[in-house]
Chain A
């Protein structure tokens, strides 16, 4: 009985120690574990220039420009607080559209324009049939524009 009890205490102590160590490590690496920077991060924190990095946010509605005969597409990535202009030439994922979530991988130029080498679409956690989405839009209850869940960074 007493040996079992001792093993139980050692195990519980070990798990608590391990959990605390993991929590501290993850907290210390906080900024390095993000997959992308938000436009507000770019505006407020020093981000590496001339190095590949990812920015993420929503494609600002009305910002997508495509010149005729030019393979480049220009748009702005926004988190509702700040926005970063992006230029990109290449294939876009099917889900790329205005108001949708997007992650761009590329370099931030000295002029503040982000030159993307790769564009990934990000979808939100909302699922519904198209008819329901239509009905919501018609009745004015639509609030699922892109990632409405992700509050913009302060």
Chain B
């Protein structure tokens, strides 16, 4: 773990990974979208509308997966003060917020024709909306302080507090009566989804995952470059005798 916390080592690693993840993103999205929109059958109840699932469900999975990563990175940042964990947490928050927004919007578009309503305040929908607000709160708090380190610390605590929402989202459909249906894929018995529709769903999920990896590596690289520029500017402005040199 410690070895990858070094920014130089990270740059070498991300340089090696990025060509693979970016190629995988393009290939998986091409295959996944073709499978989802053209090659897969319509549903026996929902007809063609079921195709919204191939975007909605991976977006929802990623919204929760990114938040779990955000909470872990925040914990590492708080306990071990790894600068790379702080940068990674700050870099992934907007990406996770976008996945959550995509999940909410596609869910709303799906709810109108199937349920007959754009939105209801049931436990699943409300807890996902709360997740979206947690992302927004993290970003606002992280940038609310003059001192970046203080902002990261405050936002990290928020991210950890918000992590209790993740099991609530996952199990909301089992604990309470909701309009949202229960899980189709992660069940104890076989998935309640036909293989002809499960395959495109999983390919799309992999595409989302590869996209997240690519964008996260890019954003961390950009943040590292920004820090170096800021550090260099401070050096040249302060002159050689300044205390900034000794850091």
Residue with the highest number of chain A CB atoms closer than 10 Å, among B44, B178, B196: B44
A140 within 8 A of B: no
Q: Is B197 an interface residue (CB 8 A)?
A: yes
| Closest chain B CB from A122 CB (angstroms) | 6
Q: Select which of B41, B161, B184 is within 8 A of A129 by beta carbon.
A: B41
Q: Are B44 and A132 in contact (CB under 8 A)?
A: yes
**How many chain A residues touch B (Cβ–Cβ < 8 Å)?**
46
Query: In the complex the two chains form, is A35's CB within 8 Å of B46's CB?
Result: no
Residue of A nearest to B171 (CB): A26
- Among the 9-residue stretches B115-123, B135-143, B202-210, the one with 4 or more Cβ atoms under 8 Å from chain A is B115-123
Q: Closest A-chain residue to B71, C-beta based? A: A15
Q: Tell me which residues from 3 to 41 in chain A have a Cβ below 8 Å from any Cβ of chain B.
A: 4, 7-8, 11, 14-15, 18-19, 22, 26, 30, 33-38
Which A residue sits closest to B117, measured CB to CB? A120
Q: Contact at B192–A121, with CB atoms within 8 Å?
A: no
Q: How far is the CA of A106 from the CA of B184 in the complex (A)?
A: 30
Identify whether the interface residues of A are mostly helix, strand, loop, or mixed.
Answer: mixed
Q: State in angstroms the CA–CA spacing of A91 and B176 once bound together.
A: 27
- Tell me how far the C-beta of A141 lies from the nearest C-beta in chain B, rounded to whole angstroms: 14
Shortest distance from the beta carbon of B134 to any chain A beta carbon, whole Å: 14
The distance in angstroms between the C-alpha atoms of A124 and B46, with both chains bound, is 11
How many residues of chain B get a CB closer than 8 Å to chain A's CBs? 40
B43: Cβ under 8 A from any A Cβ: yes
State A53–B115 Cα separation when bound (angstroms): 17
Q: How far is the CA of A121 from the CA of B180 in the complex (A)?
A: 10
- B168-210 vs A: 1/0 string, CB under 8 Å? 1000000111110111100000001110110000000000000
Give chain A nearest CB distance to B93 CB in angstroms.
19
Q: Which residues of B contact A93 (CB under 8 A)?
A: 113-116
Q: Which 6 A-B pairs have the closest CB atoms?
A: A93-B116, A129-B41, A133-B44, A35-B122, A128-B194, A125-B184
List chain B positions with a Cβ less than 8 A from chain A. Answer: 41-46, 50, 53, 75, 78-80, 113-117, 120-123, 160-161, 163-164, 168, 175-179, 181-184, 192-194, 196-197
In the assembled complex, 7 residue pairs joining A and B whose CB atoms fall closer than 8 Å, in A order, are A4-B79, A34-B177, A38-B177, A121-B116, A123-B46, A128-B194, A130-B43
